[in-house]
């Protein structure tokens, strides 16, 4: 039939987009893990190598954006496919920003590697949760599983709680030892970067819930809290 080849190409392009998103998500997960490892192990070379990975994330973003635009222009998808492509455009933007934040962690790791060691209590735990949030957020989008997406959203609260603990711990350390203030500010910045990555992962999860169920859950929890 005349449309068969085009239909096959269309489905192949959608599959390619899914694969690109998974690959980009895994690359971001790896950057987060390596950035925190560089911090804990005071490994300046690992931090440098991880920063270079961000160039690949940027290339992933541009290639994915180009593919989305190609699909929109050439096949003019409708209904669920249209929502999928439009959501993918938002996802690659969030993933690219996560890569930038992982670079920020590496830069702080490089600075801290030249200073006296400081205890990074709860930071590795934050990193593990954030990394899992990124992976699960992307997978929930690919598999269209809103329950998994909502679990990602719930884990954001855990990250927020850990951030508060890190902040209080670092603040206490700086009060007791004024010479630790410069180092403490760097560690607090690392925790803030991780907390922001978790926010981006939550954005991905919220987009998945909207994609599958048509339920716009963005900002709902924060708005509800504001009314309490």
Output the pTM of the full model.
Answer: 0.90
Residues 45-68 have pLDDT tens digits of 999 999 999 999 999 999 999 999
- The Cα 85–Cα 211 span in angstroms is 10
Place of tokens 């790896």: 30
The pLDDT of residue 2 is 45
Domains and CATH numbers, the chain: 4-226 (1.20.58.220)
Summarize the confidence of residues 70-81 as an average pLDDT. 93
pLDDT category at 227 given cuts 50, 70, 90 is very low
Query: Tell me, what's the pLDDT at 225?
Result: 47
Write down the pLDDT at residue 20. Answer: 95
Integer Cα distance of 68 and 88 in angstroms: 8
pLDDT at 120: 79
């Amino acid at each position: 039939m005349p449309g068969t080849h085009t239909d096959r190409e269309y489905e192949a392009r959608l599959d390619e987009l899914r694969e690109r998103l998974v690959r980009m998500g895994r690359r971001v997960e790896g950057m987060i893990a390596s950035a925190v490892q560089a911090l804990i192990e005071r490994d300046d070379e690992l931090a440098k190598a991880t920063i270079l990975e961000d160039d690949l994330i940027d290339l992933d973003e541009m290639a994915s954006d180009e593919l989305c635009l190609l699909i929109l222009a050439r096949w003019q998808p409708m209904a669920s496919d249209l929502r999928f492509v439009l959501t993918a455009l938002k996802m690659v933007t969030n993933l690219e920003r996560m890569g930038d934040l992982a670079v920020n962690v590496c830069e702080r790791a490089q600075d801290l590697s030249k200073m006296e060691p400081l205890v990074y209590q709860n930071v590795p735990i934050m990193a593990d949760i954030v990394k899992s949030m990124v992976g699960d957020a992307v997978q929930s989008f690919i598999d269209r599983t809103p329950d998994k997406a909502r679990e990602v959203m719930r884990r954001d609260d855990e990250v927020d709680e850990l951030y508060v603990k890190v902040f209080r711990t670092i603040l206490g350390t700086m009060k007791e030892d004024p010479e630790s203030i410069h180092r403490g500010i760097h560690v607090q910045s690392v925790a803030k970067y991780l907390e922001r990555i978790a926010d981006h992962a939550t954005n991905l999860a919220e987009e998945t819930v909207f994609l599958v169920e048509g339920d716009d859950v963005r900002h709902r929890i924060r708005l509800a809290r504001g009314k309490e």
